[in-house]
Structure formats: C-alpha cells, structure tokens
Amino acid sequence: MIRYAIIGAGAVSDYHHVPGIRLDPRAELVAACDPNEELLEKRRTDWNIDKLTPRYQDIADDPDVDAVVIATPNFSHKEIALACIAGGKHVMCEKPLGLCAAEAWDMHRAAEERGVRHMTAFTYRFAPSMRYLRHLVHSGALGVPRHFRSQRFLDWPETSWGWRQYKAQAGAGDLFDMTIHRIDFAIDLMGPIASICGAVAQFVPRDRTADGSPCPPSEVDDWSALIGRFANGAVGVWEGSTLMKGHHNNGFGWEWAEINGSEGTAVYRLTEPNTILLGKPGESLETVPVPDEFLVIPGSPRDPKEGVPSTVFRYDLVYELTSAIAENRPATPGFDDGARAQDIADAVLESNATGRWVEIGG
C-alpha cells in the first residue's frame, strides 16, 4: 500500500488528487498538511483523515508517509519538494513546478539524486482524446506533423485571483497557470521546441475580491501567446486567455488542440474528451470516438462512463504515480517534463520583454 500525504489542502487537491487516491486500491490517504487550520479541520471530515499538520516538514519527516502530492501556491513548490525528497518521499507536484525553470531543474536534480519517483501534474495529458491524439501522431497515422495549434479560452470573473495574481507567489498569470499545460502537450506530441516568439498582456486590474472588498491589484498576465518552431521543422501557435466572454461552458471554457500532418488532421477538445475530430486530405473533420483502450491509463480501475467526462480523467494521475512506484520506473510526466515546459514559459516572458525571438538551449 502506498501511503500518500496531501500538502496544500485547497481546491485542486479536493477536486483531482484525493478522488484519485480513493480510486486506486494500492493507495491510501494518511495525512494532510495546510497552514490554514480551519480548512485543515474541514478536511478531517471531508477526507476522513486524522493525521493533520500545518507544517510540511512534519510530512517530510514522517516515516509512515511514502508519497506526497504538493498542491500549494507556486512559490512554495520547490522548498516543499526539496524537503520531501530529502525525507525520501516520492513526489507529485502541481504545475508550474517553480517560479522559473531553474527552480524546476533543481527539483528534478534532487529527485533523481535521491532516487525517488517524481511527477508533474500536467492533468490534461490524461484526457482520453489527448492520449488518442498522441497515439495517432506517434504511430504516423497523420503523416509528417507540420502544425500544432492550441487555444485555451476561459471566461472568468474579473475579480481577484488571490495568490495567483502576484508575481512573487505565482510567477506569471495565464502563462504559468494555463498555457504551460499546452506547451507540455506540444513538446509531448511534436518533440523539442527550438525557438519561440512570445507575448503576454494584462487587461484587468482585479483590485476587488468577489465580495467587493478592495485588494492590491494584479501584477500578472491574463492573456498569453506564442508561436514556435520545433526541432523537427514543424511550427506551433498557442493562445490562452481568461477574458474570453462567452466561452464559459460550465467552467470548462474552450479548449482546442490540433495537429495538422501531411496525411491528416486530428483535434482534441476538453469539452468532448471521449471523441476526437479527424480529417483526411480533401475531406471534412468528422467526430470519431476514442477507442476503449485510450479511455483510461493502462490498469486504472476508473470506470470511464462514470462522472463528468471533462473532470474524471484527472483522477488517473495518482494511478500513474502509484504504478511508477510499484513498478520501479519513472512516472510520466516527470519533473523533467515540467522543467522543459517551464524553459519555454520563461522564454515567452523573455521574448515579451525584449521583443525578440528566443532560441531554446539544449
């Protein structure tokens, strides 16, 4: 049995990770950590656990914890991960891994040196449609991949994002919160990115909370975009925004990722994760069901017919980490994938600041 602790008992732990632990018969939730004592008390009943602490070091030192999920504000990921790695814990950490790529690579190095499993919570990679798209690209079914395209549009209220809107705590806005997932898709599907030209913009001050109280204004982008060239000669275009009115879709927003190859086009959509759109030369895009073998990751006990399709694939992340621990193999996506995506996200900020294309180092 792999004994998990949650560090950061907020929204994403409750929505994605705790249900994932519950579904995995090889995993058990044994502890939770959060400095917000009121929330921690609530989790005692929500999650039915009695080992609770406001200090992550208690978890790092606890011999009865095998693995941790770190789901705290971005600025704290590195220090918590390094403490848990030093304590010999396997670590899943939320994205972005750090406030910059150097932090993410430090985390990767520490995990490799200590010999623990490491995983970046790039959730959307687990969507059935994304898994099938990956199979089509890598099996050559689309021919030579030429273009990658990603659109992630959210229709969020223009009120405060809390810690997410301050550079010291979040690093960046839409770019680090949303576009970084799509940078990861692109690298996973198309291979390394060789150069990019990026831009970010901020339209909204978000100087009020949802209840109307004043707060310090946002310092981060609410729109981010890049164009890029892949090492294999293909090109990519990405755009993300939280200000896309009319793209609410029950909170799931609009998400479209597309590959155009020499023999065909395939499209992933978050709101239709159990189908893809497929187009052959001279024909129009058609809806194709995702084959059963791609609906869950291999071995996952999750019933793909249960729950909200755009949500439930996220429960497979914990299954992947538990499997990697049990099989003594790397987890996917690892901290190296998280760091590679962050190299590109950092380059977007650099390109935005200098007005120039940025070459991506090896």
Ligand X SMILES: NC(=O)c1ccc[n+]([C@@H]2O[C@H](COP(=O)([O-])OP(=O)(O)OC[C@H]3O[C@@H](n4cnc5c(N)ncnc54)[C@H](O)[C@@H]3O)[C@@H](O)[C@H]2O)c1
CA dihedral 85, 91, 94, 100 (to 10 degrees): 30
Check if the beta carbon of residue 313 is closer than 8 Å to that of residue 128.
yes
CA–CA gap between residue 145 and residue 148 (Å, rounded): 8
User: Beta-carbon neighbour count of residue 140 at 10 Å?
Assistant: 11
CA–CA gap between residue 290 and residue 127 (Å, rounded): 10
Omega before residue 281 within 30° of 0, cis: no
By CB under 6 A, tell whether 56 contacts ligand X. yes
Q: For the CA atoms of the chain, what is the radius of gyration?
A: 20
By CB under 6 A, tell whether 95 contacts ligand X. yes
**For ligand X, the closer CB: 261 or 314:** 314
Question: Which single residue brings its beta carbon nearest to ligand X?
Answer: 10
Over the window 243 to 282, marking each residue x when it contacts ligand X by CB under 6 A and - when it does not, the resulting string is ----------------------------------------
**For ligand X, the closer CB: 177 or 272:** 177
**For ligand X, the closer CB: 16 or 134:** 16
**For ligand X, the closer CB: 6 or 244:** 6
Can you read off the two tokens belonging to residue 360? 């991506």
In the complex, what is the shortest distance from the CB of residue 242 to ligand X, in angstroms, rounded to a whole number? 13
Position among 39, 86, 201, 288 found at the interface with ligand X (CB under 6 A):
39
Half-sphere exposure of 4 (CA within 13 A, CB side): 30
Position among 72, 129, 265, 310 found at the interface with ligand X (CB under 6 A):
72
By CB under 6 A, tell whether 179 contacts ligand X. no
Q: 243 Cβ partners below 8 Å, 6+ apart?
A: 154, 155, 156, 158, 203, 204, 222, 223
| Of 67-75, 153-161, 249-257, 284-292: span binding ligand X (CB under 6 A) | 67-75
CA–CA gap between residue 107 and residue 336 (Å, rounded): 9
CA–CA gap between residue 326 and residue 328 (Å, rounded): 6
Over the window 116 to 145, marking each residue x when it contacts ligand X by CB under 6 A and - when it does not, the resulting string is -----x-x----------------------
**For ligand X, the closer CB: 36 or 262:** 36
Instruction: For the segment 17-36, give every residue that binds ligand X (CB under 6 A).
Output: 33-36
**For ligand X, the closer CB: 35 or 191:** 35
By CB under 6 A, tell whether 308 contacts ligand X. no
Can you read off the two tokens belonging to residue 69? 């999920």
By CB under 6 A, tell whether 9 contacts ligand X. yes
By CB under 6 A, tell whether 7 contacts ligand X. yes
In the chain, count of helices (H) and strands (E)?
13, 15
Closest to 154 (Cα-Cα) out of 292, 56, 225, 253? 253
By CB under 6 A, tell whether 52 contacts ligand X. no
Q: How many residues bind ligand X (CB under 6 A)?
A: 22
**For ligand X, the closer CB: 163 or 256:** 163
**For ligand X, the closer CB: 310 or 351:** 310
**For ligand X, the closer CB: 221 or 230:** 221
Instruction: For the segment 326-345, give every residue that binds ligand X (CB under 6 A).
Output: none
In the complex, what is the shortest distance from the CB of residue 279 to ligand X, in angstroms, rounded to a whole number? 28
DSSP states along 5-18: EEES-SHHIIIIIH
> Would you call 249 helix, strand, or coil by DSSP?
helix
CA–CA gap between residue 197 and residue 220 (Å, rounded): 19
By CB under 6 A, tell whether 11 contacts ligand X. yes
By CB under 6 A, tell whether 74 contacts ligand X. yes
Q: Measured in Å, how far apart are the chain's first and last C-alpha atoms?
A: 39
| Residues near ligand X (CB under 6 A) | 7-12, 33-36, 39, 56, 71-74, 76, 94-95, 121, 123, 177
